[in-house]
A and B are shown apart, each in its own frame.
Chain A
Amino acid sequence: MKPLLRRLRAELFATRTDTVLSLALISLITLAAFGVLRWAFTQAQWAVIRVNSTLFAVGRYPVEQQWRLWLLTALLVAASGATWGLLRAHPRPDRSGVLWPRNDRLALVLLVLIALAVPAALGLSLAIASRWWGLTVLLILCRWLAGRFGAGLPASGQRLAALVWPALYLVGMVLISGGLGLVTVSPSEWGGLMLTLLASSFAILLCFPIGVLLALGRRSDLPLLRWGSVLYIEFIRGAPLITLLFLGQNILGFLLPGGLAPERVWRAAWVLTFFAAAYLAEAVRSGLAAVPRGQLEAARSLGLSYPKALQHVVLPQALRVALPAMVGQFISLLQDTTLLSLIGLLELLGTARTVMANPAFLGRNGEVYLTLAVLFWGCCAALGLGSRALERRLDPHAVPSAT
């Protein structure tokens, strides 16, 4: 107990000003926490979340087809678990790693607690709660399997593991929209968290190649490519996303021959993609700038062609440097999907607005927005954590840590 007391004293009560400040802050925090808790347990009516939980999750997706989404969720959970295991527990050939670092054990406990508490708190039916538990077990199982046996995979196998995600994306598209023997579900029936994740993952996947090309174009020696890229990037970065979405909804129909303009959902997704590409290009450009020029010259003098030198020497280094900035862009892209609600699409925030327009739930803004905030915060924080794990995994000098 002694060291803890000493630390507390050094951190909070070192001087008189510090003591006054600490006491003021502590009382403020206590008051705020007390107020929020009192609101959450006495005044808030969480029925609005309980009754509409399906709506928030998948929008108006037909009930008889929802098994497809559960299947997709299971696949995604399995892939996430495996990725988690490969990133965090996988020992490198030259040194051993730890199967369950401390932070992972914490995350594990947290996940189990969420699986036990949230369905009960929301009053979900036993069928859904048991699916939730099943998904948690699946996640932990895949995490354990990948962590335990991932080391045995050859390097090429591990590289293939990254391709699971795009492949899963295609499977997911078929499962969600139908086709290949499944009943078609039109995009106007998609909504909720599903639409949010779908739009953001679509944009993330497609903006990556476009952004890398733009970044290369901006650093190119060829004036036409360079100025074209600069013009595009600066134009997109100068305009607010909402005006571009507005442009997509109102002008894209005029720009394409009649009938070729895609569905409203897809228009918005494409606008998000081209928007994010410009920002991603800037992140990649900073990465490219960090690779010394000698790397390209050395690769060229070894006889590699320009594309090969880029592919094998420059881009791997540049992308590793740009990774934090790129994930930062992905996180803000995920947040930017809320703007789809302003052009009348029913993603998470749009669904929330329709729910609150229902007279039965009038004035339940606090409950709904707080829930959405927690959801978004969780998704963004998870992306940030994943990025940090990937950074450490890709760093050639990093030592596997215990935390």
Chain B
Amino acid sequence: MVPVPPADPALPPLPPPTPPWWRDRRVVPWVVQAVVGLLVLLLIAFLLGNLVRNLTAAGLLLSWRWLQQPAGFDISESVIPFNAQLPYWRALAAGLVNTIRAVLVGLVGATLMGTLVGMASFSHNGLLRRLARVYVEVVRNIPLLLQLVFWYFVVFLTLPNGVAAIQLPGVVLAKSGLYIAGLGEGLRWMGPTLVNGVWQAPVRLSVEFGALITGLIVYSGAFIAEVVRGGIAAVPKGQWEAASSLGLSWFATLRRIVLPQSLRVIVPGLNTQYISLAKNSSLAVAVGYTDLYSVAETTLNQTGRAVEVILVLLAAYLTLDLLISALMNGLNHLVQIRER
């Protein structure tokens, strides 16, 4: 022990050590935030200033009047009626509805596909298990855009027409479109029929739409399969064993015991996949399906209103994402296990 020298009573006690201001923990955070905030504000001011100056010079200052002008282009397939005389906002709305249609069909299909493949990766059958694995590994490592153009140009555009078309029960696949049975005139069930060499059916989908949703379903299905696989793997093994010792079959075990419990792991993962499917639907432009992005691109080329068109696009996709998120959060509340 080193003896502590007694305090000199003549000296005043040392003041408590105060750090210099640049090490003061009450000051530093505010200084950092002020500096970062100022820099960001300066950057934004700089960019906006340029934007206003350049747009004024080009005579394109923010205005929404062009939305009322006639669009002058046609949309080949539209759920809501549209023709070239209608204004731009109607064209954008038609594009949005087309996007929503593709997203909805894609969501349902990809969920089915992903669930089936995710279940298959827990099959007793080694071949089926490996096939599920191969599907996921192949699809996830090839760009979606490449898959879409493959489906469109290599598969759907090489379908035969007329009598040679591929005829399945209730469905006919031809180059001119996909014909599906449904309720026809007079609410009678009608299958696809060949009239004068042209197929006719209550429901006709274009090959563009077919290629888009096939691509989206196959691609997102692989990602959803991984989410489902993770969810099923998170259910304790004892649940499987208990179910099978009660005499439940493999499928019944999955459907009644395992899948319901895995939902609380699966649903948050599905949310991410659903949102990316909605965003990926914008690649429709590559296969000639007129979705929102495709209409927006044409609109920009015709009007030159870059800023407004992009604002519309971003707002639409953000709203779509938030909508999906809100729905999935609601679902998530439902499937969470309530503990006492």
Contact = CB atoms under 8 A, between A and B. Distances in A.
Contact of A247 (B40, B144, B310): B310
B144 A250 contact: no
A256 B128 contact: no
A25 B145 contact: no
Contacts of A255: 47, 50-51, 54
A318 interface: no
B141 A225 contact: no
Contacts of A10: 126
B63 interface: no
A289 interface: no
Nearest to A11: B126
A251 B306 contact: yes
A254 interface: yes
A240 B279 contact: yes
A238 interface: yes
Nearest to B280: A240
B143 A376 contact: yes
Interface in B265-279: 275, 279
A163 interface: no
Nearest to B48: A255
A369 B127 contact: no
A251 B50 contact: no
A69 interface: no
Contacts of A22: 125, 127-128
A29 to B, nearest CB: 8
A258 B145 contact: no
A370 B54 CA distance: 45
B47 A342 contact: no
Interface in A374-396: 376-377, 380-381, 384
Given A240-B293, A254-B55, A380-B141, A14 B318 contact: no
Interface in A1-48: 10-12, 14-15, 18, 21-22, 25-26, 29
Interface string B126-156: 1110010000011011111111011001100
A277 B293 CA distance: 23
Contact of B141 (A25, A223, A331, A370): A331
A338 interface: yes
A99 to B, nearest CB: 28
A26 B144 contact: no
Contacts of A359: none
B314 interface: yes
Interface string A338-363: 11011000000100000000000000
A26 to B, nearest CB: 7
Nearest to B29: A222
Interface string A203-239: 0000000000000000001111100100000010011
B51 A254 contact: yes
Contacts of B47: 255-256
Contacts of A258: 54
B297 A246 contact: yes
B261 interface: no
Interface stretch (B30-38, B104-112, B190-198): B30-38
A26 B32 CA distance: 65
A366 interface: yes
A365 B156 CA distance: 12
Interface in A277-298: none
A398 interface: no
A225 B141 CA distance: 35
Contacts of A123: none
Contacts of A125: none
A41 B124 CA distance: 36
A271 B143 CA distance: 18
A253 interface: yes
A372 interface: yes
Interface stretch (B80-88, B234-242, B282-290): B282-290
Given A25-B131, A339-B145, A253 B282 contact: no
Contact of A243 (B126, B286, B314): B314
A25 B127 contact: yes
A11 B51 contact: no
B143 A242 contact: no
B219 to A, nearest CB: 10
A368 B29 CA distance: 56
B296 to A, nearest CB: 8
Contacts of B322: 238
A18 B318 contact: no
Nearest to A353: B149
B317 interface: yes
Nearest to A336: B143
Given A11-B125, A25-B131, A239-B318, A376 B141 contact: yes
A336 B154 CA distance: 21
A211 to B, nearest CB: 17
Contacts of B40: 228
Contacts of B248: none
Contact of B306 (A15, A18, A235, A250): A250
10 contacts: A25-B131, A224-B37, A238-B318, A238-B322, A239-B317, A242-B282, A338-B143, A365-B150, A365-B154, A377-B142
Interface of A: 10-12, 14-15, 18, 21-22, 25-26, 29, 221-225, 228, 235, 238-243, 246-247, 250-251, 253-258, 331, 335-336, 338-339, 341-342, 349, 365-366, 369-370, 372-373, 376-377, 380-381, 384
| 5 tightest Cβ-Cβ pairs between the two chains A and B | A11-B126, A335-B143, A380-B141, A240-B279, A365-B153
Given A254-B306, A372-B146, 12 more contacts: A12-B126, A14-B124, A18-B125, A26-B127, A238-B275, A239-B279, A239-B313, A239-B314, A243-B317, A246-B313, A256-B47, A373-B146
